Amino acid sequence: MKPVNIAIFASGAGSNARALLSHFSNDPAVRVAVVISNKAGAGVHEVAQEFDVPSVVLGDIGAYESNLIEEMLSSHQVDFIVLAGFLLKVPDSLVQLYANRIINIHPALLPKFGGKGMYGNRVHAAVKAQGETETGITIHYVNEHYDEGAVIFQASCPVAPEDSEDDIRKKVQELEHLHFPAIVSKVVKGEL
């Protein structure tokens, strides 16, 4: 049977992209067809290379001014888009084209600590500043509004008063790497 093709969009180091690539390298039913980043220097390009998956810099293809990104996704026969630390807003046209086929991971328990500008350590700093006793991850569909699409899955971890931002980040990252590939796998196979 033809595998489900996914595209990973990422702007950063790519630890979640690595978890996804590693997971799906052992699953003939799902193939990571392409990795797309808005940053030429992002670590995720090296991660893609390690797994022999082509990676593309979004800026190079003028994604926001044309339909080149849509053509590229179609040339790779991409069925689902997975955002793994992608900092740009996905254009509305793409959200419509891939309705309910774009999945994002957010490093907090949405609807708390979401929205424009809430990414990376800013999220963990806000969690600490608010004195939260727990935080976690949210895996959700992407719609036209930042972090507002339907929730697919959440997992939480405790936050201790003495935890630093970095401690919180590490706990959240552990949850991400543990759950994201498994949940993406279920969604793209229609099991969830």
Summarize as ranges the residues that interact with ligand GRF (CB under 6 A).
Answer: 10, 12-17, 84-85, 105-107, 176
| Residue type for position 130 | Q
Is-catalytic flag, 106?
A: yes
Using the minimum distance from each CB to ligand GRF, give the nearer residue, 44 or 188.
44
Whether cis (ω within 30° of 0) applies to the bond prior to 111 is: yes
CB of 88 to ligand GRF, least distance (A): 12
Catalytic residue of the set 106, 124, 140, 179: 106
Using the minimum distance from each CB to ligand GRF, give the nearer residue, 5 or 173.
173
Nearest Cα neighbor of 39 from 6, 70, 66, 12 is 12
| Residue type for position 89 | K
Q: Nearest residue to ligand GRF, using CB? A: 85
CB of 14 to ligand GRF, least distance (A): 5
Using the minimum distance from each CB to ligand GRF, give the nearer residue, 30 or 84.
84
CB of 180 to ligand GRF, least distance (A): 8
Asked if residue 156 lies in contact with residue 134, where contact means CB atoms within 8 angstroms, the answer is: yes
Supply the residues annotated as catalytic.
106
